[in-house]
Chains A and B, each alone.
Chain A
Amino acid sequence: MEITEKLKILGNAAKYDICASTATNKKHHISGGIGNTFQHTICHSFTPDGRCVNLLKVLMSNECQGDCFYCPSRSTMDIPRTSFTPEELSKLFIEFYKRNFVEGLFLSSGIKFNTSQTMEDMLKACEIIRYRYQYNGYIHMKILPNSPYSYVERACQLANRVSINAEVPSQEHMGKISKSKHWEKDILQRMDWIKNLSDKKDSKNISQSTQFIVGAASENDSSIIQSMNRLYKTYSLTRTYFSTFVPIKDTPLENQPAAEPTREGKLYQADFLLRIYKFKASDFVFNTNGNLPSDIDVKLAVSLNNLQNFPKEVNTCSYSELLKIPGIGPLTAQRIVTLRRNNIKIESLAQLKKIGAQIKNAQFFLTINGRLQGNITFLISKIELERERKHYKQLTLF
Chain B
Amino acid sequence: MQQILYSSYASSVIKAVLLARLIDDTQLKNKAQEDDILFSFPQIDADSISSKDIYHKYRQQFGEIQWLKDTNFSFFKQQINMAFRHSKPDKYILIESVLKESLDNSLQFVLAKATDFGRKFYNYYNSVASDVHANKGFCRLQPMESDLLIGKINTEHNTGDLILRYFIQRFPKHKIALIDKRKNLAFFFDLEQFSIARPDNLEKASTIMLENDIYTQYWHTYFETQYIPEKKNTKLALKHFPQKRWNDMFEADFLKKHLE
Residues of A within 8 A of B (CB): 3-4, 7-8, 11-12, 15-16, 32-36, 42-54, 56-58, 92, 95-96, 98-101, 103, 137, 244, 246, 258, 261, 335-336, 338-339, 341-342, 344, 351, 354-356
Contact = CB atoms under 8 A, between A and B. Distances in A.
Given A34-B172, A338-B112, A49 B225 contact: no
Contact of A46 (B113, B174, B237): B237
B239 interface: yes
B215 A344 contact: no
Contacts of B133: 42
Contacts of A49: 227-229, 231-233, 236-237
Contacts of A43: 137, 240
14 contacts: A4-B217, A7-B222, A8-B221, A15-B226, A32-B173, A46-B237, A48-B233, A50-B233, A51-B231, A99-B213, A101-B219, A335-B111, A338-B112, A351-B114
A48 B219 contact: no
Nearest to B106: A342
A98 B149 contact: yes
B108 A344 contact: yes
A101 B169 CA distance: 17
For chain B, what secondary structure do more than half of its interface residues adopt (helix, strand, loop), or is it mixed?
A: helix
Given A48-B233, A98-B171, A57 B240 contact: no
A4 B105 CA distance: 62
Contact of B218 (A12, A92, A244, A258): A92
Contacts of A4: 217-218, 221
Given A48-B234, A50-B235, A354 B114 contact: yes
B254 A48 contact: yes
A46 B225 contact: no
Given A32-B173, A42-B133, A49-B233, A99 B239 contact: no
A339 B106 CA distance: 9
Nearest to A352: B114
Interface residues of B, number: 60
Closest 3 CB pairs of A and B: A50-B236, A11-B225, A48-B258
Contacts of B218: 3-4, 7, 92, 95-96
Contact of A44 (B112, B138, B221, B230): B138
B151 interface: yes
Given A35-B170, A48-B258, A101 B140 contact: yes
B250 to A, nearest CB: 9
A221 B56 CA distance: 62
A56 B226 CA distance: 10
Contact of B223 (A33, A42, A53): A53
A348 B169 CA distance: 46
Given A339-B108, A339-B109, A51 B228 contact: yes
B141 interface: yes
B216 A46 contact: no
B119 A354 contact: yes
B234 A50 contact: yes
A344 B227 contact: no
A49 B216 CA distance: 22
Contacts of A35: 170
Nearest to B255: A48
B207 to A, nearest CB: 17
B217 to A, nearest CB: 7
Interface string B100-117: 000001101101111100
A36 B219 contact: no
Contacts of A95: 143, 215, 218
A11 B169 contact: no
B218 to A, nearest CB: 6
A52 B240 contact: yes
- Residue with the highest number of chain B CB atoms closer than 10 Å, among A46, A49, A103, A342: A46
B251 interface: yes
Contacts of A101: 140, 219, 223
B95 interface: no
B76 interface: no
B216 to A, nearest CB: 7
Contacts of A58: 222
A344 B106 CA distance: 9
Given A32-B172, A48-B233, A100 B219 contact: no
Contact of B219 (A50, A96, A342, A354): A96
Contacts of B231: 49-51, 244, 261
Given A46-B241, A98-B143, A98-B149, A54 B219 contact: no
A34 B222 contact: no
Contacts of B49: none
Contacts of A42: 133, 136-137
A385 B18 CA distance: 57
Given A35-B170, A48-B237, 13 more contacts: A34-B170, A36-B169, A36-B170, A46-B255, A50-B231, A95-B215, A99-B140, A339-B112, A339-B114, A344-B105, A354-B114, A355-B112, A356-B113
